[in-house]
Structure 1
Amino acid sequence: MSGDGAGGGGNGARVVRAEVCVVGGGPAGVMLGYLLARAGVEVVVLEKHADFFRDFRGDTIHPSTLALLGQLGLREEFLELPHSEVGKLDAVVNGTRIHAVDFARLGGEDDFLTFMPQWDFLSFLTRKASEFASFRILMGTAATGVLDEGGRITGVTAEDADGPLDVHAGLTVAADGRGSTVRPAAGFVPRESGVGIDVLWFSLPKPRATLKPTLLYVADGSFVLTIDRRDHFQAGQIIPKGRFDEVKAAGLEAFRQNLAATAKPLTSVVGTLTDWDQVKLLSVQVSHLERWHRPGLLCIGDSAHAMSPAFGVGVNYAIQDAVATANALVTTLRSGGGAAVTDAQLAAIQRRRLPPVRLMQALQLRVHATIAKPGAGPLLATPPTALQRAALSLLVPALQAVAPRLIGRGFRPETISPALLAAPQPSADYPER
């Protein structure tokens, strides 16, 4: 793999060359980089930040991803990292606890969700990928545009602390998220779906009393999420789209009171929120590209389809995209390099991944519509009426039967192909970088 000493580009920029350039060091980009490097394909990953430490990123690792790590022989080492495991997902609706999801119904060893800060997950995968001589990651390197030769993308322009950089590659994969730089530079415009909610994210210490695992509290139209990060809760409150300024105008005390009224077990700890700087706005988006590819370029993950936080599946769908991409292209990349990848092959990846993405997005939008319905009354009375109890007796078992597979594995879970699994293992004497 050519490094900084490879000479200058036409614009005087330094040049890096690889068979595949992956833009974006998130779950999709790092997983794809790992898989391709494991297969012996020369790959460079560009990550615009100097480290992975970002708060309020998806940190839910679903059973489908645990199964993939198991196929790669990484599962046990991954689970040695600090994390939380949740086998059931409960919701408390106006004081009524609903046992909505039990992953034990999946069977096998991957019957739980893992909550792990995304920076730990990405650091782990990057460390394992770096055991392969064909892998390189350039931190603090931001893509600024694309290199286009006669209609085919042949890499990207980039910039790091030392100035401009040209990355030449037979295949470029945009995995740089919903704020993608590569996507608009290549002429792609996502199609937005109307979303009526945003999420306010914040951290709360755990109360002294032991709480039952609960993902969601609902009370009188207010929704509070609680994600267990072992020593604290990553919490969120769902608000109507664009209303954060109104929430702030009402004051922190009103915000704390609403949290306590919705999630009563958190009453003793909401007082730790003393400044609006502790509360971050996540602007919820749901979008997709009508076309994910053009010659020499493929978009995956949030670059191709931004998912909402509903069900926490964004990380896992991005990883599924990476696996499908590596499965489809590994033979061509090994034999002919990135330039041998055809647009028809890239189109086939989109045809495989777009249907499960659109199905999940449709489900997410239905959930949003229910949450954001103006003037809607409580979902359940306190206590539930006889009719509501009867409805729950029918609805909850049906939900328990479907939800573990739908959330835990998705509409089309991917498995790693024999071609990837047969790839050479890491060498103890890979070169210094």
Structure 2
Amino acid sequence: MEKGTTCVVVGGGPAGMVLGLLLARAGVDVTVLEKHGDFLRDFRGDTVHPSTLQLLDELGLGERFAALPQSRLDEVAFPVAPGQQVVIADFRRLRSRYRYIAMVPQWDLLNLLAEAGAAEPSFTLRMRTEVTELIREDGRVRGVRYRGPQGEAGELRADLTVACDGRWSLARAQADLPVREFPVPIDAWWFRLPRDPHDDPAGLTPRVAPGRFAVVIPREGYLQIAYIGAKGSDARLRARGVEQFRRDIAELAPNFADRVDAIASMDDVKHLDVRLNRLDRWHVPGLLCLGDAAHAMSPVGGVGINLAVQDAVAAATLLAEPLQRGAVTEADLAAVRSRRLLPTILVQWLQQLMHRNLVSPILSERRAGPPWPVLALLRRFPFVSLGPAYLIGVGVRPEHAPPFARRPAAPAADADGEGG
């Protein structure tokens, strides 16, 4: 019989890898199961916010992270006239060491966390290991059954199972945890375009046309673009074909017209079915849900990764000692939700507000941008842009590394600067 573990984490995304690393640094035997063979997947969220940058510093990983290829966003701005824009969120106004959002391929961040975890004796990462079923006995989750790299079946028993397997969480579904869905008017389509030396390297600026808009994210060597349209329109968009899609992009951003041929086919355009939901209860005995498994976020504001990481830090802080004792109670698991519920509700409320007052009016062609009172306020009092910058970049109730997880800075020379 396979040796069990104290904590098994389902999913090697940001929440799962941060939780695994922190628990291992507390001496907890933790195993992270990731179904893919590597972390190389396009168009995951790649924003690393100031609060997460601060956390990496506290974990001793700041210098190694800084050595990764990245671009930096200083502001979020909205065009109001040709050659004119209003800054909505100015991260340079933050009173923190980090006054920008780092844009780093998520696989580089995850590889960095995996390398840090490998240095801990009680940390195990198993790739190409897909969880297929929860083990449930006597009304409690006792671990997971999985399919291994060669297709072999196995089971791993654990005192605690943590679901970090995203918005379509298998573990959450098998635990019969009901999901509260909120209406969302949009879907997103991600694609890349070549980056020109004259492209703005520091700002995130929407491009708006009647009935649609796009958000351009400067990345190291290319532009990552989110095309935003009405929910449920993926089939219609694809039926129109790649030539029409290229024309749509050229109309949205005429300065990209000379490079839209980089979209070879609609296969290069990845559809994201945008969801906004959360669990009323994040746990059952023996199982806890975190990140998107507990609360799927809209891409508006780009805060999903940040919230997932904050969930993981809170969970490690609250659960390390009970796990060391081998006595995690339902009250311990409920405490994680209690700590993270207010930030989750506030962010989702703000996203719903932005859907109603910014996104929907653009898609219905009632307006081409934010309400004019908001624009007038930001023009007259630019310092107001600190508020959105703080909510996006730092958030409500930012979490800090617990003392047991802190380490002195590790020089970048000790790590693979290319992120593996």
TM-score, length basis structure 1: 0.88
Q: Deviations over 1:143-180 (max 9, x none)?
A: 11111121111111111124111111011111111111
1:320 maps to amino acid: Q
Deviation at 1:56, TM superposition (A): 1.0
User: Structure 2: which 5+ runs fail to align?
Assistant: 411-420
Instruction: Look up the match of 1:326.
Output: 316
2:80 matched to 1:90?
no
Q: Deviations over 1:119-143 (max 9, x none)?
A: 1110110011010110001111111
| 2:403 pairs with one of 395, 418, 422 | 418
Change (3 A) 1:151 1:91: same
Equivalent pair of 1:49/1:139 in contact (CA under 8 Å): yes
Instruction: Look up the match of 2:334.
Output: 347
Q: Deviations over 1:343-401 (max 9, x none)?
A: 001111101111111110111122222312463333369xx99x897455357543x03
Instruction: Look up the match of 2:387.
Output: 402
| 1:47 pairs with one of 34, 38, 42 | 34
| 1:244 pairs with one of 228, 231, 234 | 234
Q: More displaced, 244-253 or 282-291?
A: 244-253
Change (3 A) 1:390 1:79: closer
Equivalent pair of 1:94/1:378 in contact (CA under 8 Å): no
Give aligned-pair identity as a percent. 42
Q: Secondary structure at the match of 1:207?
A: coil
Q: More displaced, 55-64 or 90-99?
A: 90-99
Equivalent pair of 2:181/2:278 in contact (CA under 8 Å): yes
Q: Deviations over 1:21-55 (max 9, x none)?
A: 11110000000000011111100001011111111
Instruction: Look up the match of 2:213.
Output: 223
Equivalent positions of 1:155-304 (< 5 A) are: 155-160=143-148, 161-211=150-200, 213-215=202-204, 216-304=206-294
Instruction: Look up the match of 2:6.
Output: 19
| 1:131 pairs with one of 119, 126, 140 | 119
Equivalent pair of 1:380/1:388 in contact (CA under 8 Å): no
Deviation at 1:196, TM superposition (A): 1.1
Equivalent pair of 1:207/1:266 in contact (CA under 8 Å): no
2:104 maps to amino acid: M
| 1:314 pairs with one of 296, 304, 308 | 304
Tell me the distance in 1 between the aligned counterparts of 2:184 and 2:3: 40
Q: Secondary structure at the match of 2:55?
A: helix
Equivalent pair of 1:91/1:214 in contact (CA under 8 Å): no
Deviation at 1:59, TM superposition (A): 0.5
Equivalent pair of 1:61/1:115 in contact (CA under 8 Å): yes
Equivalent pair of 1:89/1:213 in contact (CA under 8 Å): no
Q: Secondary structure at the match of 1:305?
A: coil
Instruction: Give the alignment's Cα RMSD to 1 decimal.
Output: 2.2
Deviation at 1:204, TM superposition (A): 0.2
Tell me the distance in 2 between the aligned counterparts of 1:32 and 1:119: 17
Equivalent pair of 1:41/1:134 in contact (CA under 8 Å): yes
Equivalent positions of 1:101-140 (< 5 A) are: 101-140=89-128
Instruction: Look up the match of 1:146.
Output: 134
2:274 maps to amino acid: V
Q: More displaced, 183-192 or 365-374?
A: 365-374
User: Structure 1: which 5+ runs fail to align?
Assistant: 1-6, 8-14, 426-433
Tell me the distance in 1 between the aligned counterparts of 2:134 and 2:35: 15
Tell me the distance in 2 between the aligned counterparts of 1:312 and 1:397: 22
Deviation at 1:116, TM superposition (A): 0.6
Q: Deviations over 1:253-300 (max 9, x none)?
A: 332222122223222212322311111111101111110011111100
Aligned length: 404
Q: More displaced, 72-81 or 26-35?
A: 72-81
Tell me the distance in 2 between the aligned counterparts of 1:193 and 1:52: 30
Deviation at 1:220, TM superposition (A): 3.1
1:79 maps to amino acid: A
Change (3 A) 1:391 1:30: closer
Instruction: Look up the match of 2:353.
Output: 366
Deviation at 1:208, TM superposition (A): 4.8
Instruction: Look up the match of 2:43.
Output: 56
Q: Deviations over 1:226-250 (max 9, x none)?
A: 1111100011210100112222233
Q: Deviations over 1:184-208 (max 9, x none)?
A: 1111132111111101111100135
Q: Secondary structure at the match of 2:322?
A: helix
Tell me the distance in 2 between the aligned counterparts of 1:333 and 1:342: 10
Q: Deviations over 1:314-339 (max 9, x none)?
A: 111000000000110112222x13xx
Equivalent pair of 1:16/1:165 in contact (CA under 8 Å): no
Change (3 A) 1:376 1:391: farther
2:295 matched to 1:305?
yes
Equivalent pair of 1:17/1:168 in contact (CA under 8 Å): yes
Deviation at 1:252, TM superposition (A): 2.5
Tell me the distance in 1 between the aligned counterparts of 2:228 and 2:81: 16
Equivalent pair of 2:50/2:394 in contact (CA under 8 Å): yes
Equivalent pair of 2:74/2:203 in contact (CA under 8 Å): no
Instruction: Look up the match of 1:393.
Output: 379
Deviation at 1:92, TM superposition (A): 2.1
1:171 maps to amino acid: L
Change (3 A) 1:307 1:390: closer
TM-score, length basis structure 2: 0.91
2:135 maps to amino acid: L
Equivalent pair of 1:18/1:42 in contact (CA under 8 Å): yes
Tell me the distance in 2 between the aligned counterparts of 1:131 and 1:419: 15
2:367 matched to 1:378?
yes
